[in-house]
Amino acid sequence: MVYKDFGDLKLSALGMGAMRLPLCSDSDSDIDEKATAQMVAYAMEKGINYFDTAWGYHNGQSEIVMGKILRQYPRDSYYLASKFPGYDLSNMDKVEEIFEKQLEKTGMEYFDFYLFHNVCEVNIDAYLDNEKYGIFDYLVRQKKNGRIKHLGFSAHGSYEVVERFLKAYGSEMEFGQLQINYIDWEFQKVKEKVELLGKYNIPVWVMEPLRGGKLANLSDEYSERLKNLRPDEKIPAWAFRFLQSIPNVTMTLSGMSNFEQLKENVKTFETDRPLNEEEMSCLMGIASEMVGKIALPCTDCRYCNTKCHKGLNIPKLLELYNEHIFTGGGFLPGFGLMAIPEDKHPNACIGCKSCEAVCPQRIKISEAMSDFSAKMNL
């Protein structure tokens, strides 16, 4: 197992995410505890020492099951992470109640790592309203009391949102967790966010390295290109090798839902094999082609905005639309729209096509707005 230095700790470069644990039925709450325990045992045996759960995973059952299993091991043999569920605004005034309940659910006296969960457009104002909600003050106090060993955050929000968060709380953030993979490096402008964390000297934690499994299997054409460069490397491993090529990545979390996935990922992380220039160029070319086949080629030039009679932020709406059609839904477009006034949603488009007349990419914007509205049931 590859290990990374984090202060005086040695963290396994691969962490086990507990968001997609094996199930006994179709119910997301019905975790297969026996299978999960076997996976944890194997992970521990192979050197994984970081386990990541959260309040909402598996409808609240993940913390309970992971705590039950991990309590069978010496407390100093693993690191457990959980998060404050700020993705739900109704939780903002319940930080103490929720934190205490999380300790109770896991049966722990402290969390090794604890995060502000999913900093994004919807909750950034509430997270920063320390006077009203006191989330930051409370969590910092728990850290001083030894009930949180290391405090950080996860973010699905834009660069601007992450920047606001760090300007306010960056001095206390010890790590930042981002959705990073070779698709989103350019598609979601993750590269800029990683560079932003670098300015604050904050180590990077990675979530969704395989983009929800989308990068575990590629087309025959793309697979052949990669195999010509590394015949011995399996396709999912390329996503991890990409991350090993980013210097300030400390932790890569993978939500492994079965034993085979775990074994393959452990095997990958037995070695540190970053991509060379040719391999990186090939992989990023594939990423660009994958996105280009589906997404609209908006360059954010904003010419369209100058002609919109309804004052819509068209590039932002196209960004959310692209995310929706590439992912096949997902939660990010919905979160993004929640942060935009309703009279500026895509269904406000009147189809005049004035924006299309000045678009250098010749995007059929009015059709995209109509389709986006239909997909989001607006």
- Does 192 lie in the same domain as 224? yes
Per the rule left: phi > 0, alpha: psi between -120 and 50, beta: everything else, 88 is beta
Q: What is the CATH number of the domain that holds 85?
A: 3.20.20.100
**What per-residue confidence (pLDDT) applies to 335?**
85
Three-class secondary structure of residue 15 per DSSP: strand
User: Would you say residue 25 lies in a domain?
Assistant: yes
Q: Which of 188, 202, 159 is nearest to 322 (CA)?
A: 188
Amino acid at 164: R
289 within 8 A of 296, measured Cβ to Cβ: no
Q: Is residue 299 part of a domain?
A: no
**CA nearest neighbour of 5 among 175, 239, 180, 173:** 175
Residue 31: DSSP 8-state: B
Considering the chain, what percentage of its residues have pLDDT values greater than 70?
Answer: 100
Based on the fold, state whether residues 88 and 28 are members of the same structural domain.
yes
Give yes or no: residues 355 and 221 share one domain: no
Q: What is the pLDDT of residue 50?
A: 98
Domain boundary among 237, 254, 284: 284
Looking at residue 330, what is its pLDDT? 78
% of the chain with per-residue pLDDT over 90: 83
Q: Please, which residues have CB within 8 angstroms of residue 209's CB and are 6 or more apart in sequence?
A: 180, 181, 215, 239, 240, 243, 252, 253, 254
* CA–CA separation, 114 and 148 (whole Å): 6
Same domain? 15 vs 118: yes
pLDDT over 80 (residue 299): no
Q: Which of 110-119, 206-215, 245-254 has the lowest mean pLDDT?
A: 206-215
Q: Which residues contact 162 (CB under 8 A, 6 or more apart)?
A: 119, 155, 176, 193, 196, 197
Rounded Cα distance, 172 and 166, in Å: 9
Same domain, 121 and 186: yes
What pLDDT, on the 0 to 100 scale, is given for residue 188? 84
DSSP state of 363: -
Q: Does the residue 325 lie in any domain?
A: yes
Helix/strand/coil for 131: coil
The per-residue b/e assignment along 34-54, b for 16 or more CB within 10 angstroms, e otherwise, is ebbeebbeebbebbbbbbbbb
Same domain, 112 and 236: yes
Q: What is the spatial distance between Cα 25 and Cα 94, in angstroms, rounded to a whole number?
A: 32
- pLDDT tier at 171, thresholds 50, 70, 90: very high
Q: Give tens-digit pLDDT for 228-280.
A: 999 999 999 999 999 999 999 999 999 888 999 999 999 999 999 999 999 99
SS3 111: strand
pLDDT of residue 158: 87
Cβ neighbours around 179 below 10 Å, total: 19
How does pLDDT run across 1-50, given as a tens digit for each residue? 999 999 999 999 999 999 999 999 989 899 999 999 999 999 999 999 99
Buried b (16+ CB within 10 A) or exposed e, 200-239: eebbbbbbbbbbeebbeebeeebeeebeeebeebeebbbb
DSSP 163-230: HHHHHHHGGG--EEEEE--TTHHHHT-HHHHHHHHHHTTPPEEEE-TTTTTTTSS--HHHHHHHHHH-
Smallest CA-to-CA distance from 150 within 275, 47, 9, 282 is with: 9
Based on the domain organization, do 259 and 221 belong to the same domain? yes
Structural domain of 59: 3-284
Residue with tokens 């919109």: 308
C-alpha span between 210 and 14 (Å, rounded): 13
Same domain, 309 and 278: no
153 with 56, same domain?
Answer: yes
Residue finishing a domain among 255, 284, 313: 284
Q: Note whether 162 and 233 are same-domain residues.
A: yes
Give the contacts of 148 (CB within 8 A, at least 6 positions apart). 110, 111, 113, 114, 139, 142
pLDDT at 108: 98
Question: What mean pLDDT is reported for the chain?
Answer: 94
Predicted pLDDT of residue 94: 97
